[in-house]
Structure 1
Amino acid sequence: MSLADQVLAVNNDLPIRTDVAVHSGKVRSVYWLTQADSRRLIQEKNYDVAQDTPLAIMVISDRISAFDCIWHGEGGMKGVPGKGAALNAISNHWFKLFKEQGLADSHILDIPHPFVWIVQKAKPVMIEAICRQYITGSMWRSYAKGEREFCGIELSDGLEKDSKLPQLLQTPSTKGILKDIPGVPAVDDVNITRKNIEDNYAAFNFKSTEDIALYEKLLTEGFEVISAALGKLDQIFVDTKFEFGYVKDRNGNDKLIYMDEVGTPDSSRIWDGEQYRAGNIVENSKEGFRQLLLSHFPDPDILLNKDRMTEREALARENELPASVLMDLSATYLAIAEKVIGKKIVLSQNPKQEIIDILRDEYQLID
């Protein structure tokens, strides 16, 4: 079997029983189960959710997204070997740690396979919850141009690139296009302030103003739990993005939970501690791939300028990356995942067939 065959690039064609179209994002596909299957699994598996909660099968892929485009490599490689398994393993590890330390639950109810989560339907908070411990990336680019205010927070002069910030910063942005919020442009991923959120909490899907403080607490605590654990591995947790949402427990009570993925190389920057102390930045995250793309193409503005999206999509579609680039990225993902979980990740020879077998035989979700 070739390397390309081991990559799970297409994940929206599994024969899972569902009444609605499969939702396929950049990396994951979501299969909403029938009402009958949701109720059956809640009873059989004793999930802590209300009986009428819709459930979904979420299948990760090995696709690689950067600058809002999907990239591919030579030899028919449509993704990065081991990436999906690495991302899920890392998220699973942090979610378990959060629960053990009394932070909050996640949307995940069950993990049938390294590529698969069974999740409960959640009402998402429409905020990309970003936490920063160091000044780098887009924040540094803006700071270097003279900007000193970020999401309503004033930064002092004299900060240096890639240096540790005076305190942990929360710099939220919008998740999706939100209309009719005073002072917030109706575009995706635009920076917002705490006052924007307080004044329009319902528009961001918060149930109450008190929950804004709870989301901030869970964001800070989640960041600190991961940062401390990575510190023991001599890895620096630079910045990250969390997502939150509401679900109901089996008694019908609303609770705020962590959603999507947490503390992964896709949603975070992670630096090697030893190299950082020596004055070098070695990325153990997707940021290294982004930097490679910026240097690989002659006009990096195509990748940075949102007004050139059509050109950017053509660039990703028409250019096969060297296989060595995707294999180096595979090594990065697997190495950091194995550090975090403390054991080797064994890659499947045929992940799609394994998923089908488990969901058919153990969950009766495939006819």
Structure 2
Amino acid sequence: MSLTDKILAINNDLPIRTELPVHSGKVRSVYWLTAQDSQRLIKQKGYQVPLDTPLAIMVISDRISAFDCIWHGEGGLNGVPGKGAALNAISNHWFDLFKQQGLADSHILDIPHPFVWIVQKAKPVLIEAICRQYITGSMWRAYAKGERKFCGITLPEGLARDGKLTELLFTPSTKGILRNIPGVPEADDVNVTRQNIADHYHAFNFDSAKDISLYEKLLSEGFNVISNELAKLGQIFVDTKFEFGYVNDLQGKPKLIYMDEVGTPDSSRIWDAEQYSQGKIVENSKEGFRQLLLNHFPDPDILLNKDRMPEREALARDNALPVEVLMDISRTYIGIAEKITGKTIVLSENPKAEIIQILRDEYQLVD
């Protein structure tokens, strides 16, 4: 079986029983189950959620996205071997640790296959909750140009590139386009201040103003749990993105939970601590791939300038990357996943066939 057979590049065409269109993002696809199947599974599997909770099958892929584009390799290699399984394994590990340490729950109810989550429907908080422990990336680029205010926080003079900040910074941005909020541009992924959120908490989908403090508490606690564990493994947790949402508990009362993925190489920067102590940055995250793309193409402004999106999309569509580039990413993702979880990441021989069989035989979700 060839390497391309082991990659799940297309994940929105599975024959899962659903009445709604499949929602497909850059990496994951979501299949909303029928009310009947949701209730059946809640009863059969004993999920600790109200009986009327809508459930979904979330299937990850091996696709690689960067700069809001999907990239591919030579020879029909449309993904990174092991990437999907590595991302899910890392998220599962951190979500379990959060639960053990008394933090909030996640949206995941069951893990039928390394590529698959069964999740409960949540009302998303419309914030990309970004935490930063070091000044690097887009924040450093803006700081180097003279910017000192980020999301209402004023940074001091004299910071060095890739240097540790004096405190953990929360620099939230919008998730989706939010309209009619004074001081917040109607665009996806724009920075907002805590005051913006407090003044218009309903527009950001918070149930109450006091939940803003809870979200900040969960941000800080989640970041510190992951940072402390990574430090034991000789890794630095540089920055990351969290997402939150509301679900109902068994009594029907809303509670704030973690959503999406946490602490992965896709949503975070992770550096090798020993190399950092010697003044070198060695990425154990997707940032290494981003830097490779910036160095690979003669005009990196296409990748950094949102006004040049059509050119960027053409660049991703028309340029097959060398296979070795994708294999390097594979080694990075699998390596950090095995380091974090302490378990071997095994590549499926045919992930799509395996998923269909499990969802048919064990969950009766495929006709």
Q: Same fold (TM over 0.5)?
A: yes
2:85 & 2:273 partners in 1: Cα distance? Answer: 24
Q: Provide Cα deviations, 1:168-217, integer angstroms capped at 9, x if missing partner.
A: 10000000000000000000000000000000000000000100000000
Q: Are positions 1:155 and 2:155 aligned together?
A: yes
Task: Name the residue aligned to 1:312.
Answer: 312
What is the deviation of 1:26?
Answer: 0.3
* 1:116-127 alignment, distance < 5 Å: 116-127=116-127
**Counterpart of 1:334 in 2: which secondary structure?**
helix
Q: Provide Cα deviations, 1:260-279, integer angstroms capped at 9, x if missing partner.
A: 00000000000000100011
The amino acid that maps onto 2:7 is V
1:143 & 1:254 partners in 2: Cα distance? Answer: 39
What is the deviation of 1:46?
Answer: 1.2
Q: Are positions 1:76 and 2:76 aligned together?
A: yes
**Counterpart of 2:72 in 1: which secondary structure?**
strand
What is the deviation of 1:50?
Answer: 1.1
Task: Name the residue aligned to 2:220.
Answer: 220
Bigger mean CA offset, 220-229 vs 244-253? 244-253
The unaligned stretches of length 5 or more in structure 2 are none
* 1:109-188 alignment, distance < 5 Å: 109-188=109-188
Q: Are positions 1:356 and 2:356 aligned together?
A: yes
**Counterpart of 1:320 in 2: which secondary structure?**
coil
**Counterpart of 1:204 in 2: which secondary structure?**
coil
**Counterpart of 1:202 in 2: which secondary structure?**
coil
2:38 & 2:278 partners in 1: Cα distance? Answer: 53
1:245 & 1:147 partners in 2: Cα distance? Answer: 32
Task: Name the residue aligned to 2:88.
Answer: 88
Q: Provide Cα deviations, 1:135-164, integer angstroms capped at 9, x if missing partner.
A: 000000011111111111111101100000
The unaligned stretches of length 5 or more in structure 1 are none
1:15 & 1:234 partners in 2: Cα distance? Answer: 43
What is the deviation of 1:38?
Answer: 0.2
1:271 & 1:144 partners in 2: Cα distance? Answer: 21
4+ aligned runs moved over 2 Å, structure 1: none
* 1:267-282 alignment, distance < 5 Å: 267-282=267-282
1:277 & 1:345 partners in 2: Cα distance? Answer: 29
* 1:275-314 alignment, distance < 5 Å: 275-314=275-314
The amino acid that maps onto 1:361 is D
Q: Provide Cα deviations, 1:100-132, integer angstroms capped at 9, x if missing partner.
A: 000100000000000000000000000000000
How many residues align? The count is 367
2:20 & 2:152 partners in 1: Cα distance? Answer: 42
Q: Provide Cα deviations, 1:328-358, integer angstroms capped at 9, x if missing partner.
A: 0000000000000012111111111110111
Task: Name the residue aligned to 1:255.
Answer: 255
What is the deviation of 1:5?
Answer: 1.1
Over aligned residues, Cα RMSD in angstroms? 0.5
TM-score, normalized by length of structure 2? Answer: 1.00
2:360 & 2:319 partners in 1: Cα distance? Answer: 38
* 1:184-223 alignment, distance < 5 Å: 184-223=184-223
Task: Name the residue aligned to 1:266.
Answer: 266
Task: Name the residue aligned to 2:326.
Answer: 326
The amino acid that maps onto 2:4 is A
**Counterpart of 1:321 in 2: which secondary structure?**
coil
1:23 & 1:136 partners in 2: Cα distance? Answer: 33
The amino acid that maps onto 2:297 is F
**Counterpart of 1:80 in 2: which secondary structure?**
coil
Identical positions, percent: 79
Task: Name the residue aligned to 1:3.
Answer: 3
Task: Name the residue aligned to 2:17.
Answer: 17
TM-score, normalized by length of structure 1? Answer: 1.00
**Counterpart of 2:289 in 1: which secondary structure?**
helix
The amino acid that maps onto 2:15 is P
Bigger mean CA offset, 193-202 vs 145-154? 145-154
Task: Name the residue aligned to 1:46.
Answer: 46
What is the deviation of 1:3?
Answer: 0.7
**Counterpart of 1:358 in 2: which secondary structure?**
helix
The amino acid that maps onto 1:27 is V
